[in-house]
Amino acid sequence: MRAAARAHGSDTVASIGVSLWVRLLESHNLMLAEVRRRLADECTMPRFDLLANLERDDGQTLAALSRRMLVTAGNLTGLVDRAERDGVVERRPDPSDKRLSRVFLTGKGRDLVQALIPTHATHVSELLASLDAGERRELRRLLGKLRESLLARREAAAR
């Protein structure tokens, strides 16, 4: 069998890798669309992501939020502007660097995200119900192992 034919075979390391990549993307997109649909009456996914990130680590800079949320600074600025207008977050100047501002949850924002987090967790759990508890733990372990190797690769490349 020629090398080109083998490279396109269904059992090659490369083709299995591409298949895994596609399945991860498809699964992510399907789950995201369903969670977005289920939360639509209460909150948009970008706003939920912003509030959940601040619930985990309140007082982040816009740059840190942009990196964590994987959105552009411009998109984040608009998102924070709207959230601030709606009274769920507030910007405060950084005490050590007046050029920076930090984003904090307001009481209204904290109440909203604390109500949404269990709802979100329930939706995600329902979407993963086709996997039994052991399979979910194994998938989490494997994805954690993949994430750690990717982070190590990124750190090595940055040196």
Residue 152 lies in a domain: no
- Is the same domain home to 10 and 82? no
- Is the same domain home to 29 and 48? no
Other beta carbons less than 10 A from residue 116's beta carbon: 18
Contacts of 124 (CB under 8 A, 6+ apart): 31, 35
Predicted confidence band of residue 5 (pLDDT cuts 50, 70, 90):
very low
Residue 10 vs residues 2, 17, 20, 22, 111: alpha-carbon distances, Å: 15, 10, 12, 14, 50
Cα–Cα distance measured from residue 53 to residue 61, given in angstroms and rounded to the nearest whole number: 11
- Is the same domain home to 52 and 34? no
pTM over 0.85: no
pLDDT digits (tens, 9 = 90+) for 114-138: 999 999 999 999 999 999 999 999 9
Q: What is the pLDDT, as a whole number, of residue 98?
A: 84
- Is the same domain home to 65 and 122? yes
Cα–Cα distance measured from residue 96 to residue 10, given in angstroms and rounded to the nearest whole number: 56
Residue 80, Cβ density class (10 Å: 0-12 exposed, 13-18 middle, ≥19 buried): buried
pLDDT digits (tens, 9 = 90+) for 132-143: 999 999 999 999
- Is it the case that residue 9 has pLDDT exceeding 90? no
Tell me how many domains the chain contains. Answer: 2
Task: Quote the domain boundaries for residue 57.
Answer: 42-127
- Is the same domain home to 59 and 117? yes
pLDDT digits (tens, 9 = 90+) for 70-90: 999 899 999 999 999 999 999
Residue 149 lies in a domain: no
Looking at residue 92, which CATH number applies to its domain? 1.10.10.10
Residue 153, Cβ density class (10 Å: 0-12 exposed, 13-18 middle, ≥19 buried): exposed
